[in-house]
């Protein structure tokens, strides 16, 4: 059975996974995910038509968001769950279709008789084999004669939508929604079925998406800060405390809060992993004394680290990898993350019961003794950084800070990512490094010192906290009375999965130029689309840390 997927940076041979995903995605899962996306397009066709008549369906909105998030890299590897989603997708489509048809008739006094794209008429086959057959006909390459630039721009938009879905889902979980953001899932997915859109139309739509995603990032920032307070600079312990332990990974801060509440007073220590590290900066989470510290590094090292962790592990979002047998019975998934055979904690009546995780932590025994460790700082969100804006601006004007680098984005397993460590290490002492997302694990334990009390390494948070970096850049450009592109600020980004795609589209939509991106360029960007990105935005692939630093700062760089 074949497959084709090139949505992430580690795609096989830099072209596409066609026999088995490097991530562990089987052809069966890949094909079911293709069919799920097709089904979501069908919902969006009716969803958008209904919206044009002023009719909304919350169920369809949520389904699109969760469905897209399900297909993000390293989220759901369980064919049974995806199969269930596909069957539900049909029910959701039929419901929104009825809503639209009724509204149409009411408005026009007659039945709708327009032609719609194939996705609108899709009906799931009754067997798994039938679904796989359907999925094999709607994959990325199924339209053999599709222009490669159109395909490239459609996939760019689709991956952006997947990334935004993850952020919209986190915001929704915390009770925040933005109508424009929600509506764009319908608009964007429906556009992917529209054969009359030109390259230009799709470029514009990608830019429109970028601005909508900015709103989504803002919404999630608001959801996080309203619920957990604004991050404050906070020291995070990297050792361990004797006793039972739970390790929490992923981006979902509410899961962590619930777990902290349910473990309070039970003698269990909670540790953050991967993208959960910034949680320590939020007052409403840091107040729990048993949120002890951070353990391990970025996602690609999890097999070794989870193996060695003497407790239970909870994966709240991406990135999960195939669990080793040694910890298969100690790892739990929740939310949209799933791996066949791994215990899943579901939402029931608006709550999650983490008792199985807690029981496992208690029975696993935990750390036999205290393990000493150093401390690192997190919590430099936009409010914390802008709170010392005077000091920062003063240091720039006095020549103490020559340049800011945003070295942010995902980590990954492919060689070439040492560039980011080298870049941070070689950045001159009169430069400040802002960082976010899981790529920072390559250098966040190094000593960078400070400039007049301003730490040289400022951790702004998770990947979604790119919003903080944008806020800081905009504020600095106001102070210095110049455009963001004229600031002494350079963006050095690393990408892996689709959230990085949506953030990149936002930065481009904001007109930010000269972004350096690595470790390799996306396989789904066709040569012509790349040409447009280079011409319009001067986007460039990373070279070597030394060369890039010299190019940015001039020859006296290092």
Residue ranges in contact with ligand SF4 by CB under 6 A: 5-8, 10-11, 17, 21-23, 25, 30, 73
Closest distance of CB 500 from ligand SF3, Å: 6
- The residue (of 158 and 395) whose beta carbon lies closer to ligand SF4 is 158
Partner from ligand SF4, ligand SF3, none contacting 22, C-beta within 5 to 8 A by type: ligand SF4
User: For ligand SF4, which residue has the nearest CB?
Assistant: 21
Do residues 275 and 438 make contact, with C-beta atoms less than 8 angstroms apart?
Answer: yes
Closest distance of CB 497 from ligand SF4, Å: 7
- The residue (of 8 and 476) whose beta carbon lies closer to ligand SF4 is 8
CA atoms within 13 A on the CB side of 311: 26
- The residue (of 29 and 533) whose beta carbon lies closer to ligand SF4 is 29
- Name, in order, each residue with C-beta under 8 angstroms of 462's C-beta and a sequence gap of 6 or more: 251, 275, 278, 436, 437
Closest distance of CB 513 from ligand SF3, Å: 23
Partner from ligand SF3, ligand SF4, none contacting 462, C-beta within 5 to 8 A by type: ligand SF3
Q: Is 371 helix (H, G, I), strand (E, B) or coil?
A: strand
DSSP per residue, 233-293? -EEEE-SB-SB-EEEEESS-HHHHHHHHHHHTTTT-EEEE-GGGGGGGGSHHHHT-TTEEE
Closest distance of CB 463 from ligand SF3, Å: 3
Partner from ligand SF4, ligand SF3, none contacting 246, C-beta within 5 to 8 A by type: none
Do residues 202 and 150 make contact, with C-beta atoms less than 8 angstroms apart?
Answer: yes
CA–CA separation, 379 and 281 (whole Å) = 4
The CA-CA-CA angle for residues 217, 220, 224, to 5°, reads 140
Closest distance of CB 104 from ligand SF3, Å: 41
Partner from ligand SF3, ligand SF4, none contacting 334, C-beta within 5 to 8 A by type: none
Closest distance of CB 524 from ligand SF4, Å: 9
- The residue (of 315 and 545) whose beta carbon lies closer to ligand SF3 is 315
- The residue (of 21 and 244) whose beta carbon lies closer to ligand SF4 is 21
Closest distance of CB 275 from ligand SF4, Å: 17
332-339 long-range contacts, CB within 8 A, separation 24+? 332/356, 332/357, 332/360, 334/252, 334/255, 335/250, 335/252, 335/255, 336/66, 336/69, 336/70, 336/75, 336/76, 336/169, 337/75, 337/76, 337/250, 338/75, 338/76, 338/77, 338/78, 338/81, 339/77, 339/78
CA–CA separation, 473 and 387 (whole Å) = 14
- Exposure letters 91-113 (e unless 16+ CB within 10 A, then b): ebbebbbebbeebbeeeeeeeee
Closest distance of CB 88 from ligand SF3, Å: 26
Question: Strand pairing of 343-345 and 454-455?
Answer: unpaired
User: For the chain, how big is the Rg over CA atoms in Å?
Assistant: 23
- The residue (of 187 and 417) whose beta carbon lies closer to ligand SF4 is 417
Closest distance of CB 538 from ligand SF3, Å: 24
Partner from ligand SF4, ligand SF3, none contacting 31, C-beta within 5 to 8 A by type: none
Partner from ligand SF3, ligand SF4, none contacting 6, C-beta within 5 to 8 A by type: ligand SF4
Closest distance of CB 162 from ligand SF4, Å: 10
What is the DSSP code (8-state) at residue 146? Answer: S
Partner from ligand SF3, ligand SF4, none contacting 299, C-beta within 5 to 8 A by type: ligand SF3
Partner from ligand SF4, ligand SF3, none contacting 8, C-beta within 5 to 8 A by type: ligand SF4
- Name, in order, each residue with C-beta under 8 angstroms of 535's C-beta and a sequence gap of 6 or more: none
- The residue (of 5 and 552) whose beta carbon lies closer to ligand SF4 is 5
Closest distance of CB 127 from ligand SF4, Å: 24
- The residue (of 438 and 542) whose beta carbon lies closer to ligand SF3 is 438
In the chain, count H helices and then E strands: 19, 18
Contact residues: ligand SF3, CB under 6 A: 251, 274-275, 299, 318-319, 410-411, 437-438, 462-463, 496-497, 499-500
Beta bridge partners of 492: 407, 516
Partner from ligand SF4, ligand SF3, none contacting 166, C-beta within 5 to 8 A by type: none
Partner from ligand SF4, ligand SF3, none contacting 463, C-beta within 5 to 8 A by type: ligand SF3
- The residue (of 67 and 439) whose beta carbon lies closer to ligand SF3 is 439
Partner from ligand SF4, ligand SF3, none contacting 25, C-beta within 5 to 8 A by type: ligand SF4
Q: Is 348 helix (H, G, I), strand (E, B) or coil?
A: strand
Partner from ligand SF3, ligand SF4, none contacting 162, C-beta within 5 to 8 A by type: none
Closest distance of CB 249 from ligand SF3, Å: 8
Q: Name the token pair of 269.
A: 């220590």
- The residue (of 8 and 395) whose beta carbon lies closer to ligand SF3 is 8
- The residue (of 499 and 516) whose beta carbon lies closer to ligand SF3 is 499
Beta bridge partners of 376: 236
Do residues 436 and 462 make contact, with C-beta atoms less than 8 angstroms apart?
Answer: yes
Q: In angstroms, how far is CA 108 from the centroid of its own chain?
A: 42
User: Residue 519 to residues 10, 400, 543: CA-CA distances in angstroms?
Assistant: 10, 31, 9
- The residue (of 319 and 401) whose beta carbon lies closer to ligand SF4 is 319
Q: Is 195 helix (H, G, I), strand (E, B) or coil?
A: coil
């Amino acid at each position: 059975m074949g497959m084709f997927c090139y949505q992430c940076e580690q795609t096989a041979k830099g072209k596409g996974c066609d026999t088995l995903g490097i991530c562990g995605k089987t052809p069966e899962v890949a094909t079911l995910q293709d069919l799920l996306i097709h089904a979501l397009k069908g919902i969006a066709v009716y969803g958008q038509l209904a919206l044009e008549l002023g009719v909304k369906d919350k169920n369809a909105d949520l389904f699109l968001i969760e469905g897209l998030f399900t297909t993000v890299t390293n989220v759901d590897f369980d064919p049974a769950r995806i199969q269930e989603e596909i069957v539900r997708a049909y029910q959701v489509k039929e419901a929104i279709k009825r809503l639209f048809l009724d509204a149409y008739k009411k408005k026009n006094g007659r039945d709708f008789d327009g032609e719609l794209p194939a996705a609108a008429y899709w009906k799931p086959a009754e067997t798994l084999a039938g679904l796989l057959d359907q999925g094999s006909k709607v994959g990325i390459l199924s339209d053999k004669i599709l222009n490669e630039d159109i395909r490239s721009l459609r996939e760019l938009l689709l991956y952006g939508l997947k990334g935004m879905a993850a952020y919209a889902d986190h915001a929704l979980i915390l009770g925040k929604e933005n109508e424009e953001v929600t509506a764009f899932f319908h608009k964007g997915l429906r556009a992917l079925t529209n054969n009359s859109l030109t390259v230009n139309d799709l470029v514009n739509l990608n830019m429109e998406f970028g601005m909508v995603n900015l709103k989504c990032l803002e919404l999630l920032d608001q959801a996080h800060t309203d619920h957990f307070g604004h991050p404050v600079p906070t020291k995070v312990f990297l050792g361990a405390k004797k006793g039972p332990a739970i390790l929490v990974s992923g981006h979902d801060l509410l899961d962590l809060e619930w777990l902290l509440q349910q473990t309070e007073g039970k003698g269990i220590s909670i540790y953050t992993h991967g993208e959960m590290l910034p949680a320590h900066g939020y007052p409403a989470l840091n107040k729990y004394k048993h949120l002890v510290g951070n353990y391990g590094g970025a996602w690609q090292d999890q097999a070794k680290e989870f193996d060695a962790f003497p407790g239970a592990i909870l994966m709240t979002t991406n990135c999960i990898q195939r669990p080793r047998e040694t910890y298969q019975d100690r790892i739990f998934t929740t939310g949209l993350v799933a791996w066949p055979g791994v215990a899943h904690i579901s939402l029931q009546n608006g709550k999650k019961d983490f008792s199985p995780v807690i029981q496992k932590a208690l029975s696993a025994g935990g750390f036999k003794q205290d393990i000493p460790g150093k401390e690192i700082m997190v919590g430099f969100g936009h409010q914390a950084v802008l709170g010392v804006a005077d000091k920062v601006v003063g240091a720039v004007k006095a020549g103490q800070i020559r340049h800011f680098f945003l070295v942010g984005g995902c980590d990954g397993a492919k060689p070439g990512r040492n560039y980011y460590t080298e870049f941070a290490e070689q950045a001159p002492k009169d430069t400040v490094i802002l960082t976010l997302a899981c790529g920072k694990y390559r250098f966040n334990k190094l000593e960078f010192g400070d400039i007049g009390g301003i730490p040289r390494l400022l951790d702004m948070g998770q990947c979604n906290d790119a919003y903080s970096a944008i806020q800081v850049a905009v504020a600095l450009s106001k102070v210095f009375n110049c455009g963001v592109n004229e600031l002494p600020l350079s963006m050095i980004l690393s990408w892996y999965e689709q959230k990085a795609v949506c953030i990149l589209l936002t930065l481009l939509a904001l007109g930010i130029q000269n972004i350096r991106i690595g470790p390799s360029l996306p396989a789904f960007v066709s040569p012509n689309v790349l040409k447009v990105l280079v011409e319009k935005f001067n986007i460039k692939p990373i070279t070597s840390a030394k060369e890039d630093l010299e190019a940015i700062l001039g020859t006296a760089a290092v």
